[in-house]
């Protein structure tokens, strides 16, 4: 491809690292649930002349000239989003999911007002009011939790809502493996007149593909990233539902104004084009089959893990996401599992589990997902095999224990990393991973 040849000639160092990253993606199992592989068409839109243009404002109302074609691309993306999600308003300009969520706060809340979201270690997101996030500092955050079985504690939710009367409630999660309970939260929010914002960043592809219930009948506001199950570029969208406009007819205008000029400058037009392409792809019948296969694969993987002795939060999944609980073998084991899996060619991420005996820096869980594997064409049979491989890897870390003394941890982890590089069982798993990846090539015909 000519543009890659230009890159190689101009900056061979960057070119080589990109080439190596493509090889890493091709030769490993990408299982972080918030990651996926875009189509070549999305990447072509991203690496285009659209990155050259400034476009503050909205179509027909820009602060710069020369936006006639940019306007058409953004309108295309907006109309596709509205149709696909069945909403009357969509904004495709947020740079990413966190800025999109922050915009929601300032569109409907004043600093100091009460907000609610799922506690971070229970599966919630930083931007839903965690104390280290600006959202937990500017607003009064009252987190809700899950029960011992890992499911949301609705008795607690109702009690907290009645006592605190939040202005805004979040339903949407980053490490909760079960179906998002939009109807229940819609009823709870309505009981106290709160806004309900559904953050569907993880499941938006499942929603449009018919593999998960839509939040549209229950939520006032919807946010989503575009790069997870939706399989688009790294961007985000904010949508307002008919219910939201019924609560506040000016809500869409408030969202527009808080994005620009309130929070952002010019939109990233190349990302907007990538979103438009991804939405066109998601509207095709084959995408619905893909979304359903993601869920089927996650269920098959969960069942394989359980069969091979691995403990899962809630015992399984309804979505694309699985959360392994390693606390039965020791606290803070997530980092050991993540790095051992990485050595075996399986990319996952350490994550807290409910009632984690450790902390977010050394959590006791591992988060897995099936979107990227499904994009490669893998199905239930492969999930059965991958579950066995993951169990084998976890078996190799059981003899390690996180030191209680914080000063000893870095030395202990350094020794661990040296040992796993030489672990023959992990090397055998790596060979099996390479063999499996070879059967499901990624980006065929695309070469450096």
Q: Does position 110 have pLDDT exceeding 90, yes or no? A: yes
Burial of 316 (C-beta count, 10 Å sphere; 0-12/13-18/19+): middle
243 is catalytic: no
56 is catalytic: yes
Percent of the chain with pLDDT over 90: 96
Q: What is the pLDDT of residues 410-447, one digit of tens each?
A: 999 999 999 999 999 999 999 999 999 999 999 987 77
Q: In angstroms, rounded to a whole number, what is the distance separating the alpha carbons of residues 143 and 135?
A: 12
Q: What is the pLDDT of residue 447?
A: 73
State the catalytic residue, choosing from 62, 167, 178, 228: 228
**Cβ atoms of 324 and 298 closer than 8 Å:** no
- The residue-averaged pLDDT of 195-220 equals 98
Q: Does position 229 have pLDDT exceeding 70, yes or no? A: yes
pLDDT, the chain, mean: 96
319 is catalytic: no
Q: What is the pLDDT of residue 1?
A: 53
State the catalytic residue, choosing from 30, 74, 199, 325: 199
State the catalytic residue, choosing from 8, 75, 158, 234: 234
State the catalytic residue, choosing from 127, 225, 272, 319: 225
Q: Which domains does the chain have, with CATH numbers?
A: 47-282 (3.40.640.10), 291-439 (3.90.1150.10)
Can you say whether the dihedral through the CA atoms of 99, 228, 322, 320 is positive or negative? positive
State the catalytic residue, choosing from 56, 248, 380, 419: 56
415 is catalytic: no
**Cβ atoms of 241 and 219 closer than 8 Å:** yes
SS3 per-residue string spanning the chain: CHHHHHHHHHCHHHHHHHHHHHHHHHHCEECCCCCCCCCHHHHHHHCCHHHHCCCCEECCEECCCCCHHHHHHHHHHHHHHHHHHCCCEEECCCCCHHHHHHHHHHHHCCCCCEEECECHHHCCCHHHCCCCCHHHHHCEECCECECCCCCECHHHHHHHHHHHCCCEEEECCCCCCCCCCHHHHHHHHHHHCCEEEEECCCCHHHHHCCCCCCCCCCCCEEEEECCCCCCCCCCEEEEECHHHHHHCCCHHHHHHHHHHHHHCCCCCHHHHHHHHHHHHHHCCHHHHHHHHHHHHHHHHHHHHHHHCCCCEHHHCCCCCEEEEECHHHCCCCHHHHHHHHHHCCEECEEECCCCCCCECCECCEEEEECHHHHHCCCCHHHHHHHHHHHHHHHHCCCCCCCCCCHHHHHHHHHHHHHHHHCCHHHHHHHHHHHHHHHHCCCCCCCCC
Q: Does position 16 have pLDDT exceeding 80, yes or no? A: yes
Q: What is the pLDDT of residue 448?
A: 63
127 is catalytic: no
Q: What is the pLDDT of residues 118-174, one digit of tens each?
A: 999 999 999 999 999 999 999 999 999 999 999 999 999 999 999 999 999 999 999
Percent of the chain with pLDDT over 70: 99
User: What are the CB-based long-range contacts (under 8 Å, 24+) for 283-287?
Assistant: 283/80, 283/83, 283/84, 283/208, 287/205, 287/208, 287/209
Q: What is the pLDDT of residues 368-388, one digit of tens each?
A: 999 999 999 999 999 999 999
Q: What is the pLDDT of residue 4?
A: 81
Q: What is the pLDDT of residue 154?
A: 98
Q: What is the pLDDT of residue 5?
A: 87
- The residue-averaged pLDDT of 329-349 equals 97
375 is catalytic: no
User: Would you tell me the crossing angle of helices 269-282 and 68-85 to the nearest 10 degrees?
Assistant: 40
């Amino acid at each position: 491809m000519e543009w890659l040849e230009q890159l190689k000639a101009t900056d061979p160092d960057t070119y080589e690292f990109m080439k190596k990253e493509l090889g890493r993606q091709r030769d490993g199992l990408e299982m972080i649930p918030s990651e996926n592989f875009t189509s070549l068409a999305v990447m072509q839109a991203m690496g285009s002349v659209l990155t050259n243009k400034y476009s503050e404002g909205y179509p027909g109302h820009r602060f710069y000239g020369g936006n006639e074609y940019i306007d058409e691309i953004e309108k295309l993306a907006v109309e596709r989003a509205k149709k696909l999600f069945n909403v009357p308003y969509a904004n495709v300009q947020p740079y990413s999911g966190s800025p999109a969520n922050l915009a929601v706060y300032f569109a409907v809340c004043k600093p100091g007002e009460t907000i609610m979201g799922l506690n971070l270690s229970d599966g919630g997101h930083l931007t839903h009011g965690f104390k280290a996030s600006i959202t937990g500092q500017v607003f009064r955050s009252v987190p809700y939790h899950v029960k011992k079985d890992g499911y949301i504690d609705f008795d607690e939710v109702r009690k907290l809502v009645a006592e605190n009367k939040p202005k805004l409630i979040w339903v949407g999660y980053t490490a909760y493996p079960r179906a998002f309970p939009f109807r229940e939260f819609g009823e709870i929010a309505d009981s106290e007149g709160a806004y309900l914002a559904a953050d569907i960043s993880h499941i938006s592809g499942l929603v449009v593909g018919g593999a998960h219930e839509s939040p549209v009948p229950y939520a006032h506001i919807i946010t989503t990233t575009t790069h997870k199950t939706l399989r688009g570029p790294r961007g985000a969208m904010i949508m307002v539902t008919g219910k939201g406009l019924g609560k506040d007819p000016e809500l869409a205008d408030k969202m527009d104004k808080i994005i620009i000029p309130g929070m952002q400058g010019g939109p990233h037009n190349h990302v907007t084009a990538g979103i438009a392409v991804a939405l066109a792809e998601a509207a095709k019948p084959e995408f619905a089959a893909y979304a359903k296969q993601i869920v089927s694969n996650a269920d098959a993987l969960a069942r394989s893990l359980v069969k091979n002795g691995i403990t899962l939060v809630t015992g399984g999944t309804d979505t694309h996401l699985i959360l392994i609980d390693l606390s039965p073998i020791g606290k803070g084991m997530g980092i050991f599992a993540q790095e051992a899996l990485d050595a075996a060619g399986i990319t996952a991420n350490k994550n807290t589990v409910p009632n984690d005996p450790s902390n977010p820096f050394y959590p006791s869980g591992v988060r897995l997902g099936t979107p990227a594997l499904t994009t490669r064409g893998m199905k239930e049979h492969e999930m059965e095999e991958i579950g066995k491989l993951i169990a084998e890897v976890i078996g190799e870390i059981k003899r390690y224990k996180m030191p209680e003394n914080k000063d000893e941890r870095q030395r202990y982890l350094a020794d661990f990393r040296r040992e796993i590089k030489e672990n023959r069982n992990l090397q055998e798993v790596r060979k099996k991973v390479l063999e499996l990846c070879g059967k499901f090539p990624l980006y065929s015909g695309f070469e450096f």
